[in-house]
Homo-oligomer: A and B are copies of this chain.
Amino acid sequence: MNAVLGLDVGGTTTKALVVATDGTVLHEERRPTAHATDPLPGLAAELDRLTALAADRGAAVVGAGVVTPGLIEESTGTVRYASNLGWRDLPLRAGLQERVAVPVTTGHDVRAAGLAEQLLGAATGVADVLLLTIGTGIASALVSGGRALTGGTGAAGEVGHAPVRPGGELCPCGQRGCLEVYASGAGVARRYGARTGTAFSAAEVVGRLGSDAVAREVWADATSALADALVTATLLLDPSVVVLGGGLTAAGADLLDPVRAGLAAGLTWRPPPPVHLTGLGPLAGCLGAAALAMTHAGLGDHLAGWARGRRPVPTGTG
């Protein structure tokens, strides 16, 4: 049996999957991201450990995909800048490939998640998918015809600083009225805290919607800003399906219903695309990384089978 590795290195958590080439998930784990001065030796050791672990389960690893946030030069696999990881001009792909035997490919976490949603998530088989991930920050990916749009400098999808409320509240980036000010996890928590003096997380604010008028007001501002951003993105990109991912999707219908209503209300002369919550949860990026490894290994035509062959992902095995 052959397998690939998927590694999703986030600012807080690193997630890893071992996936058989038929789509069966053999192993899943999550652990806090190690913030080393030189991250390459640690990541290489991680890939070696996962390769050995796969071998213990009878699987030969034929490739590894590693995805990260930030600005990634797709042609070279160099991470130009990833603020949450403190990386600048890190030759991720070349540096890992020097250190490990399995073929390594690299990519952007949100674009990989978009591919995974299209492959086996909430937008399976749809050619034009817009994924909006709403976590601490906000980013997006457009998959068009199975290809994730990267842009001229690898920075496509950074919609978090779109000026949805021109002249609005100040963003840590220095601008006013950015989408993240109102609708990111950090923004929701900060805006609630500024009004009440209480430090609640965005999830806690959502938990108070039934009983707390300030929570309702802050959340309405968030979903309204998200809907406006989706109106603009829909007009520009014309996605067939919009998928919402990231931590704030735990809000469920409290997120989905007002965003759907706002998007429909903002589009007068064209129907809105359907909006779904992620079908893959926090593993979307990791599954996308594994899918990149499949393609890199020349096994891209096996990916169509993943949606059919995918087994339930084990949890808590890390």
Contact = CB atoms under 8 A, between A and B. Distances in A.
A158 B231 CA distance: 11
A140 interface: yes
The size class of the interface chain A forms with chain B is 35 or more
A127 B156 CA distance: 14
Interface string A291-304: 00000000000000
Tallying the copies of this chain within the complex gives 2
Given A149-B144, A174-B268, A175-B266, A232 B162 contact: yes
With a 10 A CB-CB cut-off, give which of A160, A173, A236, A270 has the most chain B CB atoms. A236
Contact of A233 (B164, B173, B236): B236
A156 B236 contact: yes
A35 to B, nearest CB: 21
With a 10 A CB-CB cut-off, give which of A156, A164, A240, A267 has the most chain B CB atoms. A156
Interface string A147-166: 00111111111111111111
Contact of A269 (B161, B232, B241): B161
Interface of A: 126-128, 140, 142, 144, 149-166, 173-175, 228, 231-233, 235-241, 266-270, 273
